Amino acid sequence: MRSISIFCASIALICATVSPTNAAISESQTLVVYNSASSEGTELKDAYLAAHPGIGPDNIVDLHDASLLTSDLTMDEFITKIRNPIRDRMLILIGPGPHHFIAIVLIRPMPHRILDNNNPLVGDDPDAAFTEFGVNGDSTYASVDAELVLLWQDLYDGESGGRMDSYADNVIENPYHGFENSEFEIDSFSRFGITTPKTFENLTNLFWMLTGSGSSRLTPGDMYLVCRIDGSTQSDALALIDRAQNLTVNRATTQILLDRNGGSSFEFVGDYNTANASLIADGWNVRYDTSANFVDSTEEPRPLIAYASPGENHSHNGGENPPGSGTYIDGFTFARGAIFNSVETFNARGLNGLGTLYNHEQVEDFVAAGGTFAVGNVFENFEISQAENAYLLTHMLVNQRTWAEAAYSSIWFLSGQTIVLGDPLARFETIVDIEGDCNADISVDLADYNSFAACLAQSPTGLECECFDFNTDTAVDLFDFAELQVLFDDN
C-alpha cells in the first residue's frame, strides 16, 4: 500500500449512554438492490427483507441482468446497468422519491469494482496506480459502492483521460467524515437537494474539495450510505444478516484489539491513539499493541468485538509479518457484532471470486470466521480512503450509531475504492457488563462453567482464563468459583 500523506488530526469524541436514541435510518428509508438473474441473490434479498419487514415493495430494485454476475465493470456498464436503473426506480415511485432514501443495500452477487477508464487494471498495480493518481490526476477506478454514494451526481461528465477533467478523477471530500459533522445523526440533514448538481474545487490535482453554497454544495444529506450483504458463500452472507439483528454486546468480557506496528510509517498513529483513549474512557477492554510483534490468535484467545491492524502491512519498517498468507484472521474468536478494519489495499478485492493480491486478508474471510461488519478496499487507495478507527469504533461502540453512519463518518473520501460490508441498519441496541460471561454470549451458563473447570487446573491464569479471576489474584481458584456461582444464579 503506497502512502500519499494528507493529514491526520487529533479528535475529541463524546461517549454515549448504553441506551441508543431512535434509529437515524428507518427501514422505510432503505433501498434494496438485487439481481434476480441469480437465485442466490433472490434468496438473500428475501432473507434481508424478512429481517427488516418495514422495507416495502417500493423499496426494492431488481436489476435482472445476467451480465452483472461478475466482479468488474467499465464505467459505462456501471452507469447503464446499475446507476441508471436505480435512478429510474426512484423517479417512478409515487410515494418515496430520491430524497426519501438514506441507505442503499447491495445484495450478493453484485459487482464490486469499476475499472479505470483508460487503464482498466491500473488499480491492481500499486506503483502504476500511484502514477495514475498522484502524478496524472486521472484515477477513475473505484468501487461500485463508493460511486453509488453520490448516485445523482454525473461524476463522469467531461472525462477524456486528462488530469482532473471530470469529478470521477481521483476522489471527493466526504462531508460526513469526522466528528464535527457526524455528531449529528444522518437524518438530521436536509435531503431535498440530493438531485441538484454539486460543485467541487480541484485541490493540487489530488482530490475534489467541497465548495459552492446552498444547494450546489455537497452535504451529508446529499449522500446515500451504501452497504453490501456479501461473503464468499451464500451461507456466509445469510449468517451475516442474522448476526446483525438485535445486537447486544457484553463490554465486560469482550476485547478490542488494536495492533499497530510501533515502527509503522502509516498516517494512522494518531487515529489509533485516539480510538484507544476514547474506548477505554467508555469502559471497553482494549489491547493496544504498538510493538513490532504481530498479535496472532494464539496470543489473543479472548472474544473480540473489534479488530484493527495494518494486517499484512504490519511487517513494514521492522514489524513482524503476520502468520500465513492472508490468513492471519484464522483462529480468533469473534463476538456477535464484531468489526474488522485492516490497513490493506486489497482486503475487499476477493469478492465475487476475484481473489486477492499481496496476500492481503479478505473481509469475506472475516465473515466466514464469524465477523459481522467490515470496511475494505477493492483497489489501491494509498490509505486516503482508509476508515479511521476513532470514528468507526467510537460511533459504533460508544455512541451506538447505525453501522452505516459509523462507517461513513470514518471514511475520508467518496468516489474511491472503499466498500462497507454489513447491515446498514444494525446498531448495538444494548451494551451490558456481565462478569463471568467469558464466551461473550450474554449469559453466564453451563458453557462458562465448563470453561471455568478447564481454567481451574491452570493456575496461575492465562489470557483465556483471566475472565474468571474475579478477585484479580492471578489465579483461578475456589474463591473465584464461589463468585461464579453467584453470577450464575443472578443471571
Q: Is the peptide bond before 96 cis (omega within 30 degrees of 0)?
A: no
Does residue 85 sit in the same domain as residue 131?
yes
**Among candidate residues 397, 427, 457, the one where a domain is terminated:** 427
Query: Would you state the cell numbers that stand for residue 336, as one nine-digit string?
Result: 456477535
Does residue 238 sit in the same domain as residue 143?
yes
Q: In the beta sheet, which residues pair with residue 73?
A: 114
Maximum distance among all Cα pairs of the chain, rounded to whole angstroms: 74
Does residue 403 sit in the same domain as residue 482?
no
Does residue 55 sit in the same domain as residue 178?
yes
pLDDT greater than 50 at residue 4: no
**Whole-angstrom distance, CA of residue 375 vs CA of residue 418:** 7
78 closest CA partner among 68, 91, 88, 66: 68
Query: Would you state the cell numbers that stand for residue 20, as one nine-digit string?
Result: 441508543
pLDDT for the residue numbered 308: 97
Q: What angle do CA 284, 288, 294 make, to 5 degrees?
A: 135
Q: What angle do CA 442, 451, 240 make, to 5 degrees?
A: 45
pLDDT greater than 80 at residue 93: no
**Whole-angstrom distance, CA of residue 488 vs CA of residue 107:** 41
For residue 6, what pLDDT band results from cuts at 50, 70 and 90? very low
User: How many CB atoms are located within 10 Å of the residue 232 CB?
Assistant: 18
What range defines the domain where residue 132 resides? 1-242+339-427
- E-assigned strands of 265-379? 285-289, 304-309, 334-342, 373-377
Q: In the beta sheet, which residues pair with residue 247?
A: 428
Does residue 451 sit in the same domain as residue 392?
no
Residues 6+ apart with CB under 8 A from 486: none
Find out whether 420 and 226 touch, Cβ atoms under 8 Å: yes
pLDDT greater than 70 at residue 469: yes
pLDDT for the residue numbered 18: 52
Does residue 364 sit in the same domain as residue 423?
yes
Does residue 362 sit in the same domain as residue 485?
no
Phi/psi for 36 (5° steps) reads: -70, -5
State the pTM of this model. 0.94
- E-assigned strands of 214-330? 225-229, 247-250, 255-259, 285-289, 304-309
pLDDT greater than 70 at residue 17: no
- E-assigned strands of 19-137? 30-34, 60-62, 72-73, 103-107, 113-114
243: enclosing H helix or E strand: helix 234-243
Q: What total number of domains does the chain contain? A: 2
Phi/psi for 59 (5° steps) reads: -100, 25
Does residue 408 sit in the same domain as residue 472?
no
Does residue 485 sit in the same domain as residue 379?
no
Query: Which burial class, exposed, middle or buried, applies to 480 when counting CB atoms under 10 A from its CB (0-12, 13-18, 19+)?
Result: buried
User: What tens digit of pLDDT does each residue of 109-166 get?
Assistant: 999 999 999 999 999 999 999 999 999 999 999 999 999 999 999 999 999 999 999 9
Q: What angle do CA 373, 376, 382 make, to 5 degrees?
A: 150
Query: Would you state the cell numbers that stand for residue 276, as one nine-digit string?
Result: 484507544
Query: Would you state the cell numbers that stand for residue 302, as one nine-digit string?
Result: 479472548
pLDDT for the residue numbered 1: 58
Does residue 127 sit in the same domain as residue 16?
yes
- Residue 303 falls inside a structural domain: no
Query: Which burial class, exposed, middle or buried, applies to 311 when counting CB atoms under 10 A from its CB (0-12, 13-18, 19+)?
Result: buried
Amino acid of residue 349: R
- Residue 65 falls inside a structural domain: yes
- Residue 261 falls inside a structural domain: no
- Residue 349 falls inside a structural domain: yes
pLDDT for the residue numbered 265: 54
- Residue 83 falls inside a structural domain: yes
pLDDT greater than 50 at residue 14: no
The mean pLDDT of the chain is 92
Q: Is the peptide bond before 109 cis (omega within 30 degrees of 0)?
A: yes
Does residue 474 sit in the same domain as residue 399?
no
- Residue 161 falls inside a structural domain: yes
Find out whether 103 and 31 touch, Cβ atoms under 8 Å: yes
**Whole-angstrom distance, CA of residue 143 vs CA of residue 147:** 7
Residues 6+ apart with CB under 8 A from 123: 113, 115, 116, 129, 139, 141, 378, 379, 380, 417
Q: Considering Cα of 32, then 34, then 36, then 39, what sign does the dihedral take? A: negative
User: What tens digit of pLDDT does each residue of 296-319 get?
Assistant: 999 999 999 999 999 999 998 889
Query: Would you state the cell numbers that stand for residue 42, as one nine-digit string?
Result: 433472490
- Residue 302 falls inside a structural domain: no
Distance of CA 424 to the CA centre of its chain: 10
- Residue 439 falls inside a structural domain: no
**Whole-angstrom distance, CA of residue 21 vs CA of residue 19:** 7
Does residue 177 sit in the same domain as residue 63?
yes
Q: What angle do CA 323, 343, 420 make, to 5 degrees?
A: 115
For residue 202, what pLDDT band results from cuts at 50, 70 and 90? very high
pLDDT for the residue numbered 8: 32
pLDDT for the residue numbered 488: 87
- 234-243 and 39-51 helices, crossing angle to 10°: 10
For residue 249, what pLDDT band results from cuts at 50, 70 and 90? very high
Query: Would you state the cell numbers that stand for residue 417, as one nine-digit string?
Result: 475504492
User: Helix, strand, coil shares of the chain as percentages rounded to 5?
Assistant: 30, 15, 50
